[in-house]
Every structure is written in structure tokens, then in C-alpha cells.
Amino acid sequence: MEDLTEMLKGTLEGCVLEVIGGEETYGYAITRRLNELGFVDVIEGTVYTILLRLERNGLVEVTKRPSEVGPPRKFYSLNKAGREELARFWAKWQYISARINKLKEEAA
Amino acid sequence: MEDLTEMLKGTLEGCVLEVIGGEETYGYAITRRLNELGFVDVIEGTVYTILLRLERNGLVEVTKRPSEVGPPRKFYSLNKAGREELARFWAKWQYISARINKLKEEAA
DNA sequence: ACTGGTACATGGTAACACCGAGTACCAGTA
DNA sequence: TACTGGTACTCGGTGTTACCATGTACCAGT
């Protein structure tokens, strides 16, 4: 699938929130997880900028822990604000996707 | 629903293409149509910038016609490139929305 | 010493939706 | 006549976002 980046704007951050909400995890693993899920072109740099933004906006708790196979990892988990933001994200997603799908079906 | 603008990025242009694909129409009417469809905060200025972009990218044919109730209207219709772009848009939408919904369900 | 996988940070870019202000046409009305 | 309100389009500027390129650095195996 060619160039999905514009369409991911505004949703990729929510996806990262969702992954973190599932379990405490870190940037490199989040990137791999998103790739597995079909977001194949999402690259580390993108995820790290999102994580720094989440941290700056106070949506996550951060803990640095050593790794046995490389440099230390920064583990992220959602705090209250993060969980609320995640809920808002899914509400928005449901709203918008419903409307877009309706537009699509009315055309057909 | 609060502030959907980021999530609309990359999709609103496709929605405009779809509306034009349904029938030849003009900016002001497209804005009203989108508002009806639930994209309540989409405003004229936004639609016009999209239309100018579509025109610049050669995806639409433009015809100016007088109106009986105001200034002349610029009517837009899809050309071949526009229909192809619209098809690509729906393919991307299906791809991404499927993956996001999957992510959502695996969480639940 | 070298390679490759792991792990994070950062300055710059392009694209997008949005905003604000402006221009202009027309009908109805006070 | 002047004014209002609905119709209709344009354009310069803004903030946010995902992406890119590059750099740093840890570690295991050869």
C-alpha cells in the first residue's frame, strides 16, 4: 500500500496510546508491534517523536530500565490523563469512521 | 464532538472527491453537504483550499456558471485522474480502517 | 576490530486542515 | 437609498502532524 502517511495523521498517536494501554512497553517494541499490525511503513523516528509528545503532554508515565540485549529502554504506561485521551480518541474514531463509511455507502 | 481536525487530515480531501464524484457541484454546496453528513465543523475556507488543490493537481474539470441567487459558481467534476485518485483513496481507507479496528478489537 | 541488532534523540521538511480577512453578487426591506 | 443577510470564491498565514536523515550508544557474536 502506497503512502499512507497523510491518512495516518491524527490516528497514529492514538494507535500508540492503545498499544501502551495494552501493556507497559517501550519505543522500539511499539514500532515492531505497529509493523506487525500492518502499519508497515511506520518507522522508529516517528514513534519516538510521538512518545516525546505524549510525555510532554503528561499522558504517560516513564520508567527507564536496563536491557539485557542493548541500551536502556524507556518504558511507557498510561496515566489517568492518558486513559482519558485514549477514550476520546476512540470516540472520535468511531464518529468519523461511521460518517466516512456512510458517505461511501450512499455513493454505492 | 470536539476538535476532529487532526483526524480529518488525509481523509477530508477524499470526502470532497467522493461528493464531486456523486454529481457535478460547487464549493459552497459541497460545504453544506459535508455539514449535513456530520462533518459539522468543516468550513468554507477549508473546502475551497481543497478544491484549489484538486484543480492544481489536475484531478477535476472546472466550469464557471452564473447563479440566480448570488455570484457565479465554479462547478467541479472528476476527470479520469480524479476517479483514479478517488479509488486509491477508498483503498487506503479500507486498509487503514481495517487495521485500526483490528487494533481496537484485540484490546477489548 | 568489525558487524548487526537493539534503543533513543533531534533538526528539518512537506502536507494538511484551519483561520481570518477580504471581495463581490443578489434579494428583501425599512 | 441604505442596510442586512445569504450566497460564493480567494488568499496569506498558522499549528499540528508524520516522516526523513543523521547521530549517538549499548551489546553479542565472529
Q: How far apart are CA B83 and CA B21, in angstroms?
A: 7
Residues of A in contact with B15 (CB under 8 A): 100, 103
* Residue extents of the structural domains in chain B: 5-107
Q: Which positions on chain C have an atom < 7 Å from some protein CB?
A: 5-12, 15-21, 24-27
pLDDT tens for each residue of B42-99: 999 999 999 999 999 999 999 999 998 999 999 999 999 999 999 999 999 999 999 9
CATH 3.20.20.70 fits A5-107, yes or no: no
Best residue in A5, A9, A11 for a mutation probing chain B (most B CBs within 10 Å): A11
DSSP A3: -
Q: Which of B11, B88, B101 sits opposite A100 (nearest CB)?
A: B11
Best residue in A100, A101, A104 for a mutation probing chain B (most B CBs within 10 Å): A100
Question: Over chain B, what HEC string results?
Answer: CCCCHHHHCCCHHHHHHHHHHHCCEEHHHHHHHHHHCCCCCCCHHHHHHHHHHHHHCCCEEEEEECCCCCCCEEEEEECHHHHHHHHHHHHHHHHHHHHHHHHHHHHC
pLDDT tens for each residue of A32-89: 999 999 999 999 999 999 999 999 999 999 999 999 899 999 999 999 999 999 999 9
Q: Å from A44 (CA) to D14 (C1')? A: 28
Q: Which of B11, B21, B95 sits opposite A107 (nearest CB)?
A: B21
pLDDT tens for each residue of B7-53: 999 999 999 999 999 999 999 999 999 999 999 999 999 999 999 99
Residues of A in contact with B96 (CB under 8 A): 4, 7-8, 11
